[in-house]
Structure 1
Amino acid sequence: MSFAITPAAPARQDYPYPVVASAALGPARSRLLRGPCRDEREMPEQIPGTVRVFQRNGRYALTPDVGRPLCTPTVTEAGSVAVVSIRQQLVPVLAKLPSVRPERTLVLRARFRCQVDDAVLVLSSGCWSVEPALVHYLLDDTELLMLGAREDAATSPEVARHILARVTARGDLERPEVSGMTIRLVDLDIFTVDEQLNPTVPGTLDGQFHEDGMDGPEYAYPSTHHLTAAGHAHRSVPHPDDGYDDGPPARHQEAQ
């Protein structure tokens, strides 16, 4: 019986976190008198600052720390492999607040500093992309939603200040929870968008933005109105441990 090695698919530039690449794995190639073993070409590229995590019989495990890891059952019997970033990384998210005035909807734009502490635990909890958990965190506040739904939410500096204060205070007292990951709110700003002019907001990726040395996807709002709270609607949340490392852009791969 012969086996053909299927290389992982070319990278796609959508920069997820923490899973930066993944691939399905077929049966491992058998070797005469040596048992099965996988070829490195079957694996998605592993860049510095990442680890490979294999899924085998519904369980996840890191690459075994042995002399020939690709010939171990953890690897040869795995049905898929994920490359997980263990770098500290800034993750930008957008969260749209409910509004009674669709012509002026409030949108929170936040950045979170994320650090994977246990890649196996992260994947076991079902987190392949942290963004949905961060959006849920921002919107999981009844009082915040009520503030965003006020008639004057998009025009009142007082409402803007209240929203900023509430979200940043909550960031200190109740951080986002993802098993195996440490997350902290870094900064936050508020702007308004006319949903009648931009019905797809938020959710459309449009190139890259560079903010404070950060590279990543940008959500484009061609007709936005920035809301000011005593001159601005932006607040950074400094912390002594904010020595993050964005690292090179992550790459996602899928098996064809």
Structure 2
Amino acid sequence: MAEPYPIVDRKTLDRPDRGGPLGLRRRERGKDEIPKVNGQQVRVFSVDGGYLVDHGHRRLDDEKVVRATHVTIVDLTHNRAVQTELTIPSQDAKDFTVRVTFLCTVTDAVTVVRDGQGDAERSLNGYIRSHHRLFQLGLQHKLSEINPVRLNVQTQIEAYVQLKPPRVPGLNMSLASVEVLTPEELAAFQDKVRTEERNFELYRLKAMYDEEADRQRRDWELERKKYELKLSEQRQHYEAMEQLAQQRLQQSHNEFLINEVARKHQAIGDDPVKAAMAAREEKELTATQIADRLQAGKNHAEERADRQQEREFLIEQEERTRRYAMQDALMERERFERDRDYQATLTKLEREYQAEQTALQREYETTQGRELREREDRLQMLRVRLDMLKEIAHHGHLNEVYVDAEQLIKGIAHETGAVTSPLASTATPPELENSLETAGNDPKADAGSGGGTDAHVEVEVARETWREEDY
């Protein structure tokens, strides 16, 4: 709990008794009755309705001290920091805590005691709360939006203090600072965020360290492989040089042996006796071994000759078999080619025959179709002329026009391509039969003067002509 300011302590004083055995001594205050003060405090005594300021120099038996009824300790510290706190609402049903600090100095201790200004913090709290606009500054902001609230609150309080400074009797007050405290929830959240950021940073640093370690490990592995490859190349080079030296040494040795063998062969030749003698001189063989070797060589030469003859016979037999097989293959191939040529020729002839047959069939169908179409055209023309004759007979106009029936029928027969035949059918054409019936049944023809008779005669002539034609 903060120390009270500006009045540190208060005490009511009783009237002291006289001292001495018989109560004849002067009245005096006890040491425990008057509170002690330090260098920045004063005592204010209430004496006979007035006030006496004591800086700690008056004695306990001082007359005014003895008559005092109250004593008050007042703090005279210059620019004493006095804080007051209040809460303002936020948008999300939480409160912002505002802490305002003033620098206070007592200018008149008697006035402070007389007016009862014993708690400057309470006075300043009421002063700040009298600014009603301050309680509306947090309504537009959430609890997490504390920085804009801090700026607005500080601006509002500074303007309020300048326009309406605090007035407390006996005190001089000036604004020192305005703070909007961070809420515990927001502080915990920020601590959590900072912890997570720190953990993330640690994780990032660890990842970077691991990546760098992996990169260095890969570089070291690459360098190691390069070094091993270089060593392997040098080892292979040394081995190749060594093999080359050995090959050259072996080649020199072989050349020496070849020269030595050639020299001995030139000296000995194919004479087995010289060879045996040379071996004996070199102490490689005894006489018995030489004789055995000569005999073995002779036997070996005979066996080699026999094997050579047998090998030549087998080679000759194999060559003869291969030659016969090649001849059979050539004959089979010639036979296959002759069969293939014959089959190709046969296929070609069949295709030509089919093409000729198709052309003949197409030409026959074309000629027959043309003749049929011409015959149908002639028949159609005949039907038209007969229809015209029936119409003339039907309307009774045969007596008005001269119609040579025989000439008409001949003309029709000529137009239609009819040929006279003694064996032609004697049947009456259907068109003439219908014309006859129509002419015979036409009342107009009967009513005319001789018209019906003429028509009948004409039809009869046409019928006789029809019978004579081979249509």
| Band of TM-score, shorter chain | 0.5 to 0.7
Aligned residue type for 2:141: D
CA contact (8 A) 1:121 1:179 kept: yes
CA contact (8 A) 1:64 1:72 kept: no
Query: 1:101 and 1:60, CA in 2 relative to 1: closer, same or farther beyond 3 A?
Result: farther
CA contact (8 A) 1:105 1:192 kept: no
Instruction: Provide the TM-score with structure 2 as the length reference.
Output: 0.35
Q: CA deviation at 1:20?
A: 1.8
Q: CA deviation at 1:120?
A: 0.7
Aligned residue type for 1:24: T
CA contact (8 A) 1:109 1:190 kept: yes
Q: CA deviation at 1:33?
A: 5.2
Structure 2 match to 1:42 = 33
Structure 1 match to 2:212 = none
2:174 to 177, 184, 192: 184
**What is the alpha-carbon distance in structure 2 between the residues aligned to residue 126 and residue 145 of structure 1?**
29
Larger radius of gyration: 2
Displacement over 6 Å in runs of 4+: 64-67
Alignment map for 1:42-121 (pairs within 5 Å)? 42-56=33-47, 59-63=50-54, 68=59, 70-73=61-64, 75-88=65-78, 89-98=80-89, 101-102=92-93, 104-121=94-111
Q: CA deviation at 1:151?
A: 4.6
Q: CA deviation at 1:145?
A: 2.0
Instruction: Provide the TM-score with structure 1 as the length reference.
Output: 0.61
Aligned residue type for 2:186: H
Q: CA deviation at 1:39?
A: 3.0
CA contact (8 A) 1:50 1:85 kept: yes
Q: How many residues align?
A: 182
**What is the alpha-carbon distance in structure 2 between the residues aligned to residue 128 and residue 144 of structure 1?**
26
Q: Percent identity?
A: 26
Residue 145 (1) aligns with residue 135 (2): yes
Alignment map for 1:140-219 (pairs within 5 Å)? 140-148=130-138, 150-152=139-141, 154=143, 155=145, 157-191=147-181, 193=183
CA contact (8 A) 1:101 1:151 kept: no
Query: 1:100 and 1:71, CA in 2 relative to 1: closer, same or farther beyond 3 A?
Result: farther
Aligned residue type for 1:225: L
Structure 2 match to 1:25 = 13
Q: CA deviation at 1:83?
A: 1.0
* Residues 11-59 of structure 1, C-alpha deviations (whole Å, 9 max, x = no match): xx74111112232322223245564232333111211111001234665
Secondary structure of the structure 1 residue equivalent to 2:32: helix
CA contact (8 A) 1:191 1:224 kept: no
Q: CA deviation at 1:139?
A: 1.2
**What is the alpha-carbon distance in structure 1 between the residues aligned to residue 163 and residue 60 of structure 2?**
42
**What is the alpha-carbon distance in structure 2 between the residues aligned to residue 30 and residue 64 of structure 1?**
26
- Aligned Cα root-mean-square deviation (Å): 2.8
Aligned residue type for 2:99: R
Query: 1:66 and 1:157, CA in 2 relative to 1: closer, same or farther beyond 3 A?
Result: closer
Q: Which runs of 5+ in 2 are unaligned?
A: 188-471
Aligned residue type for 2:156: R
Secondary structure of the structure 2 residue equivalent to 1:29: coil
CA contact (8 A) 1:63 1:69 kept: no
Query: 1:22 and 1:190, CA in 2 relative to 1: closer, same or farther beyond 3 A?
Result: same
**What is the alpha-carbon distance in structure 2 between the residues aligned to residue 86 and residue 41 of structure 1?**
23
**What is the alpha-carbon distance in structure 1 between the residues aligned to residue 92 and residue 113 of structure 2?**
39
Secondary structure of the structure 2 residue equivalent to 1:106: strand
